[in-house]
Structures are given as C-alpha cells and as structure tokens.
Amino acid sequence: MLVVLALIVFAAGRSGYGQGPSTIGQSVQCQPFQSALAFDVRAGDAVSSGSFNVPPRTAMTIEQIGLRVDALDFIAPVVAAVTTTVRSITSAYYIPIRSDEPLVIPPRPLTLMQAGPLRADGGTAVIVSILVDSRYLNGNGRAQWSISGTSCVS
C-alpha cells in the first residue's frame, strides 16, 4: 500500500510527465552578427548617412553601437541616429554627443559607444546618420559605424 501511495504522489507531482514542450513552429535559429559601415561627411551636407538591409525572414536585435568620426579639417556633429523598423513602425534612436567638445578636429576623433537593444524586422533597412551643425557646414571627414547583436531566422 505504501508503494502504491508513493507512486501516485510521484506521478501527481510531475504534471505533464512524458509530454515535452511542443517544438512545432518554434525552430528559431539565432546567431551573432556584426556589421561595419563607413561613409564620408562632406562639406555642405547637413546630414550624412548610410544603410544596410536586414535579410528577409530575419529578426535583428542590435545590442551595441559604436561610432568614430574622423575629421580632415573640422566637423561639428550635433546628432547621431540609428533608424530601424519593427512591425511597420519606423523609429530613430539618438546617440548622445557631448556638447562640451563641439568640433571634431584631425588629432581628436569623436568616439561614441551605446548599448541597445534595438530591434529591426527582416526586409527593412537600418539607417545610420550624422547631423552636422548648420553653422559649420564647411568640414569634411569620415564616419565609421560598428553595429553588433543577434540575428534570428525562423
């Protein structure tokens, strides 16, 4: 009798015993990704930008954003942004730029690092941009972005 009672308690304590979770429709494969993008910041342009496309049927999570701006003469960036689209809604994420050093000059590049997460749906573009102070449009340089995170294919 004691053995039968112990088996009933053991079986009752393991609800769903013998039935693992369903894996139908849950075959998501994730892997790390890293993307680098560089573009020129040209005199006379208030906005400089570049983009890359997220592969179709993929969901991307951006976990780290790095930016380096090098000047040939001087550049006065005021806004750096990453624009993504999730479920047909496009949003911009702004990366803070210190206002106490308004000009980037050749011996002193601007470097920024920002943690996410940001999300982007497959088949959309991730756009990275720099807005330059309209009072200082004579500068030339180069912006180099590094974006990393996880990409999941279902």
Residue 16 lies in a domain: no
Residue 75: burial class (beta carbons within 10 Å; 0-12, 13-18, 19+): buried
DSSP helix/strand/coil, 59: strand
**pLDDT (tens digit per residue) in 34-48:** 999 999 999 888 899
Residue 88 lies in a domain: yes
pLDDT for 7? 37
Q: How far apart are CA 85 and CA 126, in angstroms?
A: 8
Q: Total structural domains in the chain? A: 1
The CATH code of the domain that includes 120 is 2.60.120
Predicted TM-score (pTM) of the model is 0.76
pLDDT for 28? 72
Range of the domain at 59: 37-153
**Which two three-digit tokens encode residue 9?**
């308690």
Residue 114 lies in a domain: yes
Residue 113 lies in a domain: yes
CA angle 111, 116, 119 (to 5 degrees): 125
Distance, CA of 31 to chain centre: 14
pLDDT for 106? 85
Residues of the chain with pLDDT under 70: 1-27, 101-102
**pLDDT (tens digit per residue) in 10-33:** 344 443 433 344 344 455 799 999
**Which two three-digit tokens encode residue 105?**
């000059």
